[in-house]
Amino acid sequence: MPSFDIVSKTDVQTLDNAINVARREILNRYDFHGSKSTIDLDKKAFTISILTENDMRLDSIIDIIRSRMIKQHLNPLCLDEGKEKYASGNMVRKDIIVKQGIDKDAARKINKDIKDSKLKVQSQIMDDQIRVTGKKIDDLQQIISLVTRGNYGLPLQFVNMK
């Protein structure tokens, strides 16, 4: 039986490239001249740490990161921005978590939408992905277009089409 998996993964190397380009852009921008702004990517914990002087620069850095991610064909929906914390002195620190995998609530919502479509397919939640199986490839393609149109708050990819 044909099947495919719905996953939400971010390529770490592409994200690292986007962060490096954003870091270089910040060094070259006039409004960041003399700034002590830093951007660090922790590849194991999937977090981006930003340290800068004020909120205006923090917002600019986040916008630069998003635009660089879009140019690298990464979806900025994978960024989970927390609250900014004030570090020592007048510095502002923000840790952004890069979401990996489909959380349980989004998986249930996707599963419910697939069941409500009344197509002859089965879907099951497997850890942080969803496997969809059916007898016809046309039904699977309709499910892909249905899930693509849905708004689940995460970037979704369709892999392992068999």
Question: Is residue 15 within 8 Å of 24, Cβ to Cβ?
Answer: no
Q: Which domains does the chain have, with CATH numbers?
A: 3-8+101-159 (3.30.70.860), 12-98 (3.30.70.990)
Nearest CA-CA partner of 45 in 95, 81, 7: 95
Question: Mind listing the pLDDT tens digit for each residue in 78-119?
Answer: 998 877 677 677 888 899 999 999 989 999 999 999 999 888
Res 98: pLDDT: 92
Residue 44 DSSP symbol: T
Res 34: pLDDT: 84
Res 25: pLDDT: 92
Residues 19-23: what's their mean pLDDT? 94
Question: Mind listing the pLDDT tens digit for each residue in 58-71?
Answer: 999 999 999 999 99
Nearest CA-CA partner of 80 in 60, 100, 52: 100
At 12, list the tokens.
């770490």
Residue 134 has, within 13 A of its CA and on its CB side, a CA count of 20
